[in-house]
Amino acid sequence: MEHKITICTEDPQLIDQITNLIKDEKATYLLEQSSNNSSEKLVEIMNQLAASTPIKSIKDPLLWQKDVRKDKKLLGRD
């Protein structure tokens, strides 16, 4: 059975310690560098979506929200 371990760090010293620890073992490792700009891309996309008007049928979002969120009449309370 194969087991995998994922470690995320920006500390090059820790990376060296880990690779030195497993170098004489029967193990393989894959060292990857990932960029953290995926969250920046998500923010950019969300901002673009917020700036656009994707639903043309809603003229006034505040009025629409108030209309949609009207409370139901409760028996004995109205």
Instruction: Quote the distance between the C-alpha of residue 76 and its chain's center.
Output: 45
5-44 pLDDT, tens digit per residue, is 888 888 889 999 988 888 888 888 888 887 666 777 888 8
Which of 22, 20, 28 is CA-nearest to residue 3?
28
Q: What is the pLDDT of residue 14?
A: 92
What distance in Å separates the CA atoms of residue 54 and residue 75, rounded to the nearest whole number?
Answer: 38
Contact 18, 7 (CB under 8 A): yes
What distance in Å separates the CA atoms of residue 43 and residue 9, rounded to the nearest whole number?
Answer: 23
Does residue 77 have a pLDDT over 80?
no
